[in-house]
Structure 1
Amino acid sequence: MANWVKIDIENHPDKIKLKQIHAKEYPQLKEKLISLQKDWKDQAYADSLKTLIKEIDQTFIMQKEIMTSLATFDSYQDGITPILSESKSDEITTNINNLSVHLHRILDALKLTTSDQQISMIENMQLLSRTNFILLGFIIVLGFLLTIRLSSQIIKPVNSLHNLVNKVSKGELDNDSIKITNDEIGEMVGDVQKMVEGLKTTATFANEIGKGNLESEFAPLSEKDVLGNALITMRDNLVKVAKEDKQRNWSNEGYAAFGEILRNHYDSTNEMLDTFLIKLVKYVQANQGWLYIVNDEDENDPYLELKSVYAFDRKKFQTKRIGKGEGLAGQAWIEGDLIYLTDVPDSYVTITSGLGDSNPKAILIVPIKVNDTINGIMEFASFNEFQSYQVEFIQKLSETLASSLSTMKINERTKILLEESQKQRNQMHEQEEELRQNLEELQATQEEMKRKQENTDLFIQQLKAHELELMKENEILKSKV
């Protein structure tokens, strides 16, 4: 503190160090002392430490006052402030010396107390060592006696158990008969025999899976039966793979069959759609089916036109048109996505069978679209819910049908254009022939008129010649008179 009063340099190392003591080192040391004080059993020492800490806090407050009053170089130029600060500094030095003496007294008392505790601890450890030595000798004698008494009852079962475990480690599951005693060894033998039986059951289950019997039942030995649970997981995965293969084969066979239908030649589009719908309803095991095609001949009034209906192997011819947003089919047309209902309203549709009229359990409506262009709608009703792989199959098949319909539509339009073009060519040929005939008649008429004109000109020339002759004769007659 004396250096702070005498040195007017703001960033002097002693000043920086004192600031660190106030800001960090003393608060940490104070916290440690308070923490240690809580573990002291002697309340007098604890109270002395509390008093010491309070006095140190007061001393630090006085130091803080000096540090604040002499914080800048200008504060040292004031003659009164350094003098007052030096007086306080002397008082602080005296307090620190007194605090140091007080602290050393506490430390000496604590050292004395610690020394007494160490002596007591050493005596207790010596007593404990002698007690442990006596107990160790007693345990050795008792263990020796117990070993002699129980060796005959333990060695033989343990050897038998060892032989059994050795066979199991080699994969032999012969359950040798071992006498089970009413002790821990007997419990171990029983557990090993249960393990052997469980392994036999697990091996039988594995053999059934190897034979392809994926419906074989098996219960694991426990929730933590690693091998049993692994076999069950393998069986379930094989069942899943077999199911997926079956569904994949079903889909591939369907794609091939319906691809053949679309490649065949038909007299009309309606004939192809009838064949396609009947086959598809049966293939997905539905009960009824409807197929609508977008009729956009009038661009201002497009609608869905019912082209094919199937129900129970007989064709029901109906005339029906559906506008955009009308019913579920019209809604699917607008949204461009499938609609699948499993809670079918009673008034939506009924399926007639030998047992009467019944409501379907599921309705599936799939747009026939390709490249976001909807060419139609397919709708199916069934007593059974449609499986996800069936819905996916119908969706992909609808894309193929949409492509075929687009191609057929283009071909039909091309055919119509060709017929119209041929008709126009025939009309033009007829008109050309008629024009040719008219030209020939006009040419004949012109030739006839030319011939008549020539005759007329010849007749006029003859008349003129005759007129000249008459005039000459008239002149001769006049001259004679």
Structure 2
Amino acid sequence: MLILLSVGGITLVSFLSFQRIEWLLVSIIETKVSPIIQNAELEREFSKVSAETNLLISNFTAQDEKVVRQQGTALLEIVRKNLTRSIVTNSEELRAVLEQFIDALQSLVEQGTKIIRISAMIQDIDAQLSEKLGQLEDMVSEKMLMLAMQGTNSEAFSLEQLVSMIPEYKNFHSQLNIQLIKSNQANAGLQIVENTYEDTIVALLNDFKAALGVITISGKEFEAIEGELRQLILTYQQEVVDLHAAMRTFQDRLTRFKQVQDQAAQDMAQINLAVSHATENIRQEATSSVQSSKTLIISLSIAIILILIMAGYYALRMIRPLTSLARTANQLAQGDISSTPYPVKTQDEIGILAVSFRNMVTYVQNIANVTEQIAEGNLQVNVQPRSPKDVLNTSLQKLVIYIQEVAQIMHKISQKDLNVTVTPKSEQDVLNTSLQHMVQNLQSMMDEIGQQNWIKDGLNQLNMELSGGLSLREVCDRATSFIARYLQAGQGVLYIYHAQEERLQLQGTFAFAERDEVSDEYRLGEGLIGQVALERKAILLKHPSRAESVISTGTFDGAPLQTYTFPLVHENELFGVAELASFEPFDDLKQEFLQEVTRIIAMAIFSAIQRERVQTLLRNSQE
């Protein structure tokens, strides 16, 4: 009864004390905390806007004009709606600074969009200038080729001067781009820098215009493009001057923006100082209120604790063993098997229960030790059931054997031995089923990798074989010989297609013996060679007769098992037709390899033909 009265008294005093503390805290929050929260919200919003503004300014040259304008407008809306609403309870000085911040930000965004717009115009002019230089180079090349074919040398000297100036024009163009990029980098971002690149760019443009005089003396047909280049350079020069003027204005406005931003930050710092003082006052008032209530509660609590200690001492002697068993059981239920029950020396029911419980904990600890060794990778554990009814140890023993079998299979796989047999123990054996699928997938993957490596090695070797300045005949012979040897074919031929005459002429052979029934020249649609050229599709011929095809060696002649005829096409243009004959079938892998080979051989033939044409033109021009 005394304990109940003591507890009731402490509860009543505590309730009244907490009511008083609650009243004091509500009063403090209403009078002091609310302004602090408003100031904190103001500082947070300003910091967010400042950070996003700095990010926008530092990256504005890399963004689109529309994006910069949208982001700037969004920031201005945040400042107007949030910051101006938050400063109602603050000083007029801060309000004025924030209004200046809005004006400076708006002016800076407008100037940034102007710079982006001028930069876009310069990029467009630069693209036109590059295009005109390309046209000039093409016109000079065409006229040089025409003069070389006509054998006229009277105009060659002026054209050679123009040819020598084209790289100089391109160099001017490149230097302009480099200086403009440096200028943009110098002016972009938040740093205030001095730009000295404008004079350099203007000087380069003047030199560029002066160098265009060589175009006029090279022929009347170049006067039009020379005028276009001069007009582009003049427009480029005016835009560069406008760009740097805009950049200087941007630097001035950036300086003003940073000054306003720094002033606003200083005002925020003053607000933070005031918040700090207010927070300290709140802490002191709350501490004083809580301390008086705490003293009363502690005094009454000490009295009741002394009473409870005396009563608890006697109760503890009775319930300690049961408490220990309950604690150990709870830890065991949570997976903690490290503790043991409190030792009980009595021989009553509690003592018997404690001994039985201790034996159960030991049993669980032994099982946990075995599973921990398995988890650490030690599969050499010995699990022996304690009795025929020991279901847990029996199941654990079967589990260890199962894991050991899986580990042996995985060890073989790690040693690159994929010739293993995995048999699931049942339909529910997910591990062995997955392991079986993994082995099958690894075997399939290794086969596929080997095939792809075989194709890549062949293509690399063929590229090496056809590299260098080879003639057309050398390209055809080497290509035919290589693919025939690589595919272990008994015979191979390669016909070059002459588009103007619509005929195919034999150029490359491998182990080929001339026969009357085999022609060294075909028309489109004539024979298997002509048909493949006409359709531009490969044809696989199985079991040809001896009269159709014969592979001759030093010891016998025999008809091949299959022949494979395929076109040599590059960029939809036919360059020739190749045919292989083999005693072995052309399976899917070989056909895939030949499809890849087609592009390489066609490109090599095209390069050889172009080299021979250039050499012929050079010889004709020298004559």
Query: What range is the shorter-chain TM-score in?
Result: 0.3 to 0.5
Higher RCO (CA 8 Å, separation ≥ 6 residues): 2
